[in-house]
């Protein structure tokens, strides 16, 4: 199997401390076409020539050194499955998660994504045990102060201030600037879902399947369960949560003049739950 051969080769490098599999492949929520998200935790990033020598044995296509978000090599294995290989300094990674989980610093959307990534990664290689130690260190109940900070910061971005997204969207609609409407609505939803996951004490799963995860309640650290069924308890969500989002998406370019009222409806229902 090319995937196994590839990560074993990286595990032999002295600068590599741990290797973890993330994304859908680390759970049961994948299919044959799902790609691999492979995280290489290093003291220093392996030299490009070394990475290429490993990848060319297992990959039919390679993009080396993409750095749009993190440093990564994006490839297609010889069996046709795509693989994203991300290189991280393990100390910097730990500090980033500590700032959220232990220091309770909120972001403008996606606050707990890296925490979620750590807790839900499958360890493939961890000779020193450092990555497993990080998983144990941060496998804690959702901090109340973090929850409060995320809600406060992102609620102020949604509404109530001159720079708030609802006000920016209103102005963009008035100008007929659909690009700006789309851009600000996307930012609005980033903060909205940060609040949704925080108020349910769920780690943020990232940019995919957010509605599904919100409805299922399955990204809580430790997963609060129903004593009768052992299933995760459903999330506490605003009234008409999914329907209001679908209405917003339908109006975004179909009838942009309705977007302002759609946004206000979403805010009002969210506020009722928070109150």
Q: What is the pLDDT, as a whole number, of residue 28? A: 60
What is the CA angle 116-119-125, rounded to 5? 130
Please tell me whether residue 239 adopts helix, strand or coil conformation: coil
Please identify, among 92, 107, 137, the residue that sits at the C-terminal boundary of a domain. 137
Q: What is the pLDDT, as a whole number, of residue 255? A: 92
User: Which CATH number covers residue 75?
Assistant: 3.30.460.10
Please identify, among 87, 111, 137, the residue that sits at the C-terminal boundary of a domain. 137
Q: What is the pLDDT, as a whole number, of residue 1? A: 84
Residue ranges making up the domain that contains 171: 144-274
Please tell me whether residue 190 adopts helix, strand or coil conformation: helix
Q: What is the pLDDT, as a whole number, of residue 240? A: 95
Q: What is the pLDDT, as a whole number, of residue 182? A: 94
Q: What is the pLDDT, as a whole number, of residue 227? A: 46
- The answer to whether 116 and 205 are in contact (CB under 8 A) is yes
Both ends of the chain: CA-CA distance in Å?
A: 53
- The answer to whether 74 and 35 are in contact (CB under 8 A) is no
Report which of 6, 143, 176 is spatially closest to residue 76, judged by C-alpha positions. 6
Same domain, 91 and 149: no
Q: What is the pLDDT, as a whole number, of residue 203? A: 94
Same domain, 6 and 132: yes
Q: What is the pLDDT, as a whole number, of residue 29? A: 62
Q: At residue 49, what are phi and psi to the nearest 5 degrees?
A: -65, -35
Same domain, 82 and 150: no
Same domain, 160 and 178: yes
Report which of 249, 108, 243, 239 is spatially closest to residue 185, judged by C-alpha positions. 249
Indicate the number of domains in the chain: 2
Query: Which stretch of DSSP H or E encloses residue 59?
Result: strand 59-66
- The answer to whether 90 and 42 are in contact (CB under 8 A) is yes
> Block means of pLDDT (10 residues each) for the chain, length 275 residues?
94 96 70 83 94 96 94 95 95 96 97 95 94 96 97 97 95 93 96 96 90 76 48 79 96 92 97 94
Distance of CA 223 to the CA centre of its chain: 17
Q: What is the pLDDT, as a whole number, of residue 209? A: 85
Same domain, 117 and 177: no
């Amino acid at each position: 199997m090319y995937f196994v051969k590839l990560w074993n080769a990286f595990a032999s490098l002295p600068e590599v401390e741990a290797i973890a599999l993330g994304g859908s492949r680390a759970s049961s929520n994948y299919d044959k076409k799902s790609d691999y998200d492979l995280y290489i935790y290093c003291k220093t990033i392996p030299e490009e020539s070394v990475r290429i020598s490993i990848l060319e044995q297992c990959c039919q296509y390679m993009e080396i050194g993409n750095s749009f978000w993190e440093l990564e090599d994006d490839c297609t294995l010889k069996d046709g499955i795509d693989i994203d290989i991300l290189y991280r300094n393990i100390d910097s990674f730990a500090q980033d998660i500590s700032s959220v989980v232990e220091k309770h610093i909120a972001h403008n959307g996606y606050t707990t994504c890296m925490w979620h990534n750590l807790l839900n990664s499958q360890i493939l290689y961890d000779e020193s045990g450092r990555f497993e130690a990080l998983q144990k260190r941060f496998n804690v109940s959702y901090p109340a102060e973090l929850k409060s900070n995320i809600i406060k910061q992102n609620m102020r971005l949604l509404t109530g201030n001159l720079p708030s997204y609802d006000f920016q969207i209103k102005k963009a609609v008035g100008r007929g600037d659909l690009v700006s409407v789309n851009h600000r609505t996307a930012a609005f939803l980033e903060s909205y879902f940060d609040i949704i996951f925080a108020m349910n004490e769920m780690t943020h799963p990232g940019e995919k399947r957010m509605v599904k995860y919100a409805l299922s309640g399955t990204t809580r650290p430790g997963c609060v369960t129903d004593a009768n069924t052992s299933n995760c308890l459903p999330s506490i969500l605003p009234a008409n949560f999914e329907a209001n989002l679908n209405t917003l998406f339908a109006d975004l370019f179909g009838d942009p003049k309705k977007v302002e009222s759609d946004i206000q409806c979403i805010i009002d229902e969210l506020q009722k739950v928070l109150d």
